[in-house]
Structure 1
Amino acid sequence: MIPVLGYEGQTVAVLGLGRSGLATARALIAGGATPLCWDDSVEARERAQAEGFACADLSRDASWEGVAALITSPGIPHLYPEPNRHIAKAWEMGVPVDNDIGLFFRSYAAQGWGEFDTPPRVIAVTGSNGKSTTSALIHHILKVAGRPTQLAGNIGRGVLDIAPAQDGEVVVLELSSYQTDLARALTPDIAVFTNLSPDHLDRHGGMGGYFAAKRRLFSEGGPERAVIGVDEPEGRSLANQMGEGPADDRVIRVSAERKLGGAGWSVCVRKGFLSEMRKGRQVAAIDLRAVRGLPGAHNHQNACCAYAATRALGIAPRLIEEAFASFEGLPHRSQIVAEIGGVTYVNDSKATNVDSAEKALLAFDNIRWIAGGLGKEGGIEALKGALGHVRKAYLIGFSARDFALQIGDLPYEICETMEAAVARAAEEAEAGDTVLLAPAAASFDQYPNFEKRGEAFMAAVARLGE
C-alpha cells in the first residue's frame, strides 16, 4: 500500500466505493487521514461500513464540514455529459477534487528513497488502443531484464494498492482518459502515448476534450522522456509541442506506418521489422514477424512503444528481443486460444470499437468473423475497407441486424448468441481459416464486461473438442 501524504489529521471524502475507492480509503488511513465515504449504491456503502469506514451523504451541506478534499473514482463523470451532483457540490463548497492517480503521484516518493542506489521510476502509458498490451509488455521486458517492477492502474492492481518502492524499481501504469482527466498531479518519468481514435466522446465533450485528457499526462508534469505515436495528427502535434528541436532526444517518435528519419530518436516498424533510429542512423533492429504474442500491425505498434520506453531506461536491444519472444500476450486481446483441425481461434473481445476491430481484422487471413453486441455511435460502416480478409461474418447480440446492413456484400449469418456463432463458424471453417472474435461493440447487452464475453468465446471453443 502507498500511504497518502499531505492530509494527515484531515478528513477526506471518497466518492465511489469500488476497487479504487476502497483502496483509496485504506491508503488515506495509512497516511493519517480520516476518509468519509459515499456511494449511491446501498450495497457498496454496506461493504465499506463492514470494513469500518464511515459513510455520509455528500448531497447534504453538513457532510462537507471540515472536508479537505474529494477523491472521486475515475468512472464517475465530473463534467460531461453532465457533472455528477456530488462533484458539483464539491465545487460549490470550494473543496478540491482529485482522484487516486493524483494521490499516487503526490505520495509515491518517500523519505527512504535517499538510501537507494537507483531511484525508482514511473512509466505511464495512455492512448486509445494498445495501452494495456504496451503496459504489460513493458512490465514483461523489465522482468526479463531483472529489474524490480510493478504493474498497476487501469490494469492489474489499483495504484494505491501496490507495495512501497524498492531500490531501482520501475512502476508501470496504464492510465485511461478517465484517470488522466482529473488527476491534480501527473509526474511520470517516462510518458507513453500510443495512438488516438474516437472513443468516450460523450464523457469528454468531443474529440478535442478526449485528446486534451490524454495530453495532460505530458503537459502537467513534463516527463523526462516522452514516447509518442505519430501516426495520427494529434500525436504529431503532441510530439512537436514536447520537443525543442529536430535533434531533441527527450521525445521518441513511434510509427507503425512509415519510416521515421531526422536527427532525433525514433522507433518504427515496416514489413514486420522494428528499427531504432538515432541521429539518422539505424542502431538496432528486431524481426517481429514470428513473435506469436504480438500478431498484426497494431501489436507491432505496441512493441515499438514498449521498446522505446525500455530503451529510454537503458535496457539493451538484445534483452528486449528476448522478452518479445517470450511474451504471451494479454487475455482477450488477439489471444490465440486454440488450433483445431488447422483452424485457429482468436479471442479479441477487447476490440470494443471500430478502430480496435479494424486492427484485429487486418492482422489475420481467411477470417470467419464473430461480431456484434451493443453497437456504438456510427455502427461499423467504417470497417468496410478492412473486410478483405473476411470470408463470412457471424453476428451476435443487440446490434446484429444493424451490423448486417452495414457490411456491404460480405456473406453473413445472424446467430444471436456466442455459442451459436462459434458452432456455425467452426462448422464452416476450413484448414487455414481463423475464427476471430472482434466484436466492434460493447458487451453490455449480453455480458457484464468484455472479459466475460471473451470467456464465453473460449468456453464455446473448448466445447468443440469434446
Structure 2
Amino acid sequence: MIPVQGLQGARVAILGLGRSGLSAARALVAGGAVPVCWDDNPAAREKAQAEGFECLDLLKSRAFADVARLIVSPGIPHLYPAPNPVIMAAQDAGVAVDNDIGLFFQSFATKGWDNFDQMPKVIAVTGSNGKSTTSALIHHILEYAGRPTQLAGNIGRGVLDIDPAIDGEVVVLELSSYQTDLARNLTPDVAVFTNLSPDHLDRHAGMGGYFAAKRRLFAEGGPDRAIIGVDEAEGRFLAGQLSEGAADDRVIRVSVDRKLAGLGWNVFARKGFLAEMRNGKQVASIDLRKVEGLPGSHNHQNACAAYAACRTLGFAPKVIEAAFHSFGGLPHRSQTVGELRGIRFVNDSKATNVDSAVKAVAAFQNIRWICGGLEKEGGLGDLAKPLETVRKAYVIGREAAQFAMKLGVEAEVCGTMDVAVARAVAEAEAGDVVLLAPAAASFDQYDSFERRGDDFIAQVQKFL
C-alpha cells in the first residue's frame, strides 16, 4: 500500500466505493487522514462501513464544511454529459477535487529514497487503443531484464495498492482518460501516448474534450521523456507542443504509418520491421513478424512505444528484442484460443471501438468476423467500407440486424455468441481465422468485455 502523504489529520471525502474508492480510503487511513465515504449504492456503503469507514451523504447541508479534499472514483462522470451534484457542491464549498491517481503521484516518493542508489521511476501510458498491451509489454521487458517493477492503474492493481518502491524500481501505470482528467498531480518520469480515436465522447463532450483529458498527462506533469504516437493529427500536435525543435530528443515520435525522418529520436515500424532512428541515423532494427505475441500493425505500434520507453531507461535493443519473443500477449487482445482443422480462433473482445476493430481485422487474412454489441457514439464509420480480409461477418447483440446493415461486408444476423461461433465454424475452411473483434461495447449482453471474451472462448471450446 502507498500511504497518502500531505493529508495527515484531514477529513477527506470519497465519492464512489468501488475498487479505487475503497483503496483510496485505506491509503488515506494509512497516511493519517480521516476518510468520509459515500456511494449511491447501499451495498457499497455497507461494505465500507464493515471496514470501519464513516459514510455520509455528501449532498447534505454543510457536508463539505470541514473536508480538505474530495476523491472521485473514475467511473463517475464529473462534468459531462451533466455536472455531478456532489462534485459541484464540493467546488462551491472551495474543496479541491482529485482522484486516486493524484493521491498516488502526491505520495509515491518518500524520504527513504535518499538512501537509494537508483531512484525509482514511473512510466505512465495513455491513449485510445493499445495502452493495456503497451503497459504490460513494458512491464514484461523490465521483468525479463531483471529490473524491479510493478504494473498498476487501469490494469493489474490499483495505484494505491502497490508496494512502496524499492531501489531502482520502475512502476508502469496504464491510465485512462477518466483517470487523467481529474488527477491534480500527474508527474511521471516517462509518459506514453499510443494513439487517439473516437471513444467515451459523451463523457468528454466530444473529441476535443477527450484529447484534452489525455493531454493533461503531458501538459500538467512535464515528463522527462514523452513518447508520442504521431499517426493521428492530435499526436502530431502534441509532439509539436512538447518539442523545442527538430533535434529535441526529449520527445520520441512513434509511427506505423510511415518512415519518420529528421534529427530527433524516432521509432517506427514498416512492413513488419521496427527501426530506431537518432540524429538521422538508424541505430537498431527488429523483425516483428516473428514475434507471435504481437501480431498486426496495431501491435507493432504497441511494440514501438514499449521499445521507446525501455530505451529511455538504457536497455539495449537486443535485450528488448529478446523480451518481445517471450511476451505471450494479454487475454482478450489478439488472443489465440486454439486451432481446429487449420482454422484459427482469435479473441479480441477488447476491440470495443471501430478503430481497434479495424486494426484487429487488418492483422489477419480470410476472416470469419464475429462483431456487434452496443454501438458507441460516432457510429460505425470505417466499418461501412469494404474490408478485404473479411470473408463474412457474424453479428451478435440486441441490435444485430441494424448493426449488420451498416457493415461493408456480407453479414449474417446471429444475435448470440453461441449461434455466431457455430455458424462461423460450420462455414470456415482451412486457413480461415474466426475472429471476435466486436467494434462495440458489451453492455447490451455482458457486463464487461472480459465476460464477452470468456463466452467466445467457452463456445469455441465446444468444437476444439
Quick one: which amino acid aligns to residue 423 of structure 2?
A: R
Unpaired stretches in structure 2, ≥5 consecutive residues: none
Contact kept, 8 Å, 1:12 with 1:69, in 2: the verdict is: yes
Per the alignment, residue 362 of structure 2 pairs with 362
Shift of 1:65: 2.6
Per the alignment, residue 307 of structure 1 pairs with 307
Contact kept, 8 Å, 1:379 with 1:403, in 2: the verdict is: no
Quote the Cα distance in structure 2 between the aligned partners of 1:113 and 1:379. 50
Quick one: which amino acid aligns to residue 439 of structure 2?
A: A
Contact kept, 8 Å, 2:64 with 2:93, in 1: the verdict is: yes
Per the alignment, residue 442 of structure 1 pairs with 441
Cα deviation 1:304-341 (Å, max 9, x = unaligned): 00000000000111110011001011100111111111
Quote the Cα distance in structure 2 between the aligned partners of 1:84 and 1:33. 25
Shift of 1:384: 3.3
Shift of 1:386: 5.6
* Map 1:359-398 → 2, pairs under 5 A: 359-385=359-385, 387-398=387-398
Quote the Cα distance in structure 2 between the aligned partners of 1:162 and 1:387. 43
Per the alignment, residue 424 of structure 2 pairs with 425
Contact kept, 8 Å, 2:201 with 2:377, in 1: the verdict is: no
Quick one: which amino acid aligns to residue 295 of structure 1?
A: P
Quote the Cα distance in structure 1 between the aligned partners of 2:2 and 2:35. 15
Per the alignment, residue 329 of structure 1 pairs with 329
State the SS of the aligned residue for 1:69. Answer: strand
Cα deviation 1:112-137 (Å, max 9, x = unaligned): 00000000000000001000000000
Percent identity of paired positions between Structure 1 and Structure 2? 71
Quick one: which amino acid aligns to residue 241 of structure 1?
A: Q
Per the alignment, residue 283 of structure 2 pairs with 283
Quote the Cα distance in structure 2 between the aligned partners of 1:48 and 1:377. 35
Contact kept, 8 Å, 1:358 with 1:386, in 2: the verdict is: no
Contact kept, 8 Å, 1:343 with 1:435, in 2: the verdict is: yes
Shift of 1:381: 4.1
Q: Indicate yes or no: 2:199 matched with 1:199.
A: yes
State the SS of the aligned residue for 1:61. Answer: coil
Per the alignment, residue 211 of structure 1 pairs with 211
Per the alignment, residue 56 of structure 2 pairs with 56
* Change in CA separation of 1:51 and 1:386 when aligned onto 2, cut-off 3 Å: farther
Per the alignment, residue 149 of structure 2 pairs with 149
Cα deviation 1:87-116 (Å, max 9, x = unaligned): 111011111100000000010000100000
Quote the Cα distance in structure 2 between the aligned partners of 1:234 and 1:172. 24
Quote the Cα distance in structure 1 between the aligned partners of 2:305 and 2:145. 17
Contact kept, 8 Å, 1:354 with 1:380, in 2: the verdict is: yes
Size of the aligned set, in residue pairs, is: 464
Cα deviation 1:185-210 (Å, max 9, x = unaligned): 00000000000111111111111111
Quote the Cα distance in structure 1 between the aligned partners of 2:13 and 2:346. 44
Contact kept, 8 Å, 1:151 with 1:173, in 2: the verdict is: yes
State the SS of the aligned residue for 1:63. Answer: coil
Quote the Cα distance in structure 1 between the aligned partners of 2:382 and 2:272. 25
Q: Indicate yes or no: 2:90 matched with 1:86.
A: no
* Change in CA separation of 1:4 and 1:172 when aligned onto 2, cut-off 3 Å: same
Shift of 1:399: 2.4
Contact kept, 8 Å, 2:273 with 2:288, in 1: the verdict is: yes
State the SS of the aligned residue for 2:441. Answer: coil
Unpaired stretches in structure 1, ≥5 consecutive residues: none
